[in-house]
Amino acid sequence: MTPEHTENAEPTVNDGSAGNPAPAAERAGTRALPRDLVDVEALLAAYTERHPDPAEPAQRVSFGTSGHRGSSLKTSFNEDHIAAITQAIVEYRADQGVTGPLLMGRDTHALSGPAQDTALEVLMGNGVHTLIDSRDGFTPTPAVSHAILALNAEVPAGVGPPDAGRAGQADGIIITPSHNPPADGGFKYNPTHGGPADTDATNWIADRANELLAGGMTEVRRIPLAEAKQHEALGTYDFLDRYVSDLPQVIDLNAIRQARVRIGADPMGGASVGYWGEIGTRHGLDLTVVNPEVDPQWGFMTLDWDGKIRMDCSSPNAMASLIERMAPAEGAGEGESAEPAPFDLATGNDADADRHGIVTPDGGLMNPNHFLAVAIDYLYRHRHGWPAGAGVGKTLVSSSMIDRVAAGLGRDLVEVPVGFKWFVPGLLAGTGVFGGEESAGASFACFDGAAWSTDKDGLLLCLLAAEIRAVTGRSPSQYYAGLVEEYGDPVYARIDAPASPEQKAKLKRMSPADVTADTLAGEPITATMTEAPGNGASIGGLKVTTENAWFAARPSGTEDVYKIYAESFRGAEHLAQVQAEAKAIVDAVIA
C-alpha cells in the first residue's frame, strides 16, 4: 500500500544541488531543475511524426471523466488521435441534431496549439460553424462552459420544427489535460448543456474515433490549415469579455471592492493568465497577478509530491512558492512585529482554471474539502434568491464534514459518483445550485438560481473566497475553524493499493452483499453502498460508512491500483485503522 496523495502533506525541502542529485520525489516542493523539463521540440515533433497503432490499447482513443488525455511522446496524443476524435464529434453532433456553433478553447500546454490546428482542419473540412477566441488567447474551461449556456439562452424558443431538439444550440471542445504535466495533452467535448459529456456520448465518440484510426483515417474529412483559417464557417467569440462582464451575476464584487480585499492571483502558467488582470481592472479590485509567465515547460513550478511538474493547485508541493510568499515575514529584531502577508488572500488555478487553490495568511493552503465546506455554509446562508428546496451536491468521496454542514443548514444532501457531469442536470434545472468535488473542483448558481456554468470553475471559487473575506471579515481558514468547533475535526486521506486488472474488475462489480463485516475500526457499519444515494448511479466501487468514519474504494482507470479514500472524525490513529480494515475488506472480496 503506497501513499499517492495526502491532503495535509508538507513539502520536502531538498534541492539535490550538493553531492549526488536527490531523487525527484525527495525534491517535492522545490523549484524544477533543467533535467525536470520536457523537450518541447521533441514533443511537438512526435505529435505529427508518430502514428498510433489501433491494435495497441495504450495508443487507442480513450475518454476518461475529462476527455482523452495522453502524450505525443507515448503515442497516446498525436495528430491522428485529434483528427479522428474531431471527426467523431462532428458525426456525433450531427446525429444529435446539434446545428449551432461549436465553441473551441485551449489552454497553455504545448500540445494544445497543434491540437487546435488539427481540429480546425477537420471542422472546416466538414463545414462546421466554429468559434475560436477573438483575442487568439487561452480559454479557461469555465469560460467555454459559461459561453455555451449564455449563447443557448439567447436561442429563440421554437427554432426549427417541434422535434428539432438541439437545433441552433451551441456545444464545445476544450483542449486541455487540466493539471497534468507539461508533456501531456487533453481533448474533451462539452455538449449543449455546457458540462462534461456523459458516458453515452464519450463512448460513442471514442468508439467511432478508433474505427477511423483502424480504417487508416480515410473517412476523416480535412483541409489544409491555411485554407481552414480562411473558411467562411470559422468565426470568433470574445470568451473573456463574456465571462468577466457577467461576473456580477454570481459574485458580490461590490463587497470585495468596498472591503479592499487584497488578492494575489497565481494563474500557475495556465489559461486564466489573461482573465485575472481583466477581472481586477474592470471591477476595480485590489488584485495582483503574482506570476503572469506562460512557459510550455513550466520551469518556474515547484515539483509535486512525486517529483513531477504538475499544475495541481490543491497540492502543497505544487503551490509551495505561493504558500511561501503568503507566510508573514519574521521581524528584523527583538520586539519588532512580523511584517504582514502581502495579500489578504492568495489563489491558484490549474492550466485550464477549472480547479481552485486558496491560500490564507493564517492557514496556508486550504485542504480542498475544508474550503468546500466553507463555501457551502456561506453560500446557502447568503444566496437568498436560491430555491429553498435546493440540495447540496457533493461527490461521494468528498468530506463528510459537508454532510454535517448540510444537515446544519437544513438542506438535503445529494451525493453522486465521482465526475462533475453528475451535477449538470441539477445545475440546469435549479434543483442543484452547488456541486463540488474533493479534487478542488466546484461551481454554483447565480444569485437568482440560474446556472452560471455546468463545468468546474476555479476562478469562481477563488473569487468566492474573497467575497467570504469581505462579507464576514474572516479568512476562509478562520471560517472553517468555526465549523470545526460546531461539527468536529475530520482527518481525510487517499492512498493506493495494488490490484490486477481482474481484481479491479471485481471491485467495480461489487455489491453490498459482498461485504460480510459488520464493524469498521470499532464502530458499527451504518451503510454499505455501490450506488450513489443522490441519484442511484453506480459508483464503480464500494463505500462503507459508520457514525464517525467512512471509506470508499474505486479502481484506477489508468494504473493497476485501486484508490482508498477514507475519513475519520476520531483522529489520525483511527483513520489509519479505517484504512487498514478497508484494505482487508476489499481484498477479501477481490482476492
**Strand bridging mode 538-545 / 549-555:** antiparallel
- Report how far residue 590's alpha carbon sits from residue 499's, in angstroms, rounded to the nearest whole number: 9
- Cβ atoms 256, 120 nearer than 8 A: no
Q: Which residues contact 559 (CB under 8 A, 6 or more apart)?
A: 496
* Element containing residue 215 per DSSP (H, E): none
- Cβ atoms 119, 173 nearer than 8 A: yes
Q: Which three cell numbers stand for residue 449?
A: 438560481
One-letter amino acid at 450 equals: A
Buried b (16+ CB within 10 A) or exposed e, 411-444: bebbbbbbbbbbbbebbbebbbbbbbbbbbbbbb
- Report how far residue 253's alpha carbon sits from residue 464's, in angstroms, rounded to the nearest whole number: 9
- Report how far residue 475's alpha carbon sits from residue 326's, in angstroms, rounded to the nearest whole number: 13
Cα-based angle 542, 545, 548 (whole degrees, multiple of 5): 150
Positive or negative: CA dihedral 133, 139, 142, 145: positive
Q: Look up 439 and say whether it is catalytic.
A: no
Buried b (16+ CB within 10 A) or exposed e, 135-161: eebbbbbbbbbbbbbbbbeebeeeeee
Nearest CA-CA partner of 222 in 91, 116, 121: 121
Q: Which three cell numbers stand for residue 280?
A: 481586477
Say which of 71, 178, 399, 453 is annotated catalytic.
Answer: 178
Q: How many beta carbons lie within 10 A of that of residue 45, not counting itself?
A: 13
Burial class (CB in 10 A: 0-12, 13-18, 19+), 576: middle
Burial class (CB in 10 A: 0-12, 13-18, 19+), 19: exposed
DSSP class of 570: S
- Report how far residue 27's alpha carbon sits from residue 553's, in angstroms, rounded to the nearest whole number: 30
Q: Which residues contact 463 (CB under 8 A, 6 or more apart)?
A: 247, 251, 253, 256, 279
SS3 of residue 436 by DSSP: strand
Distance set, CA 527 to CA 115, 230, 432, 530, 539 (Å): 46, 60, 24, 10, 14
- Report how far residue 503's alpha carbon sits from residue 542's, in angstroms, rounded to the nearest whole number: 13
SS3 of residue 29 by DSSP: coil
- Annotate 523-565 with three-state secondary structure: EECCEEEEECCCCCCEEEEEEEECCCEEEEEEECCCCCEEEEE
- Report how far residue 26's alpha carbon sits from residue 24's, in angstroms, rounded to the nearest whole number: 5
Largest CA distance in the chain: 79
* Residues with catalytic roles: 178
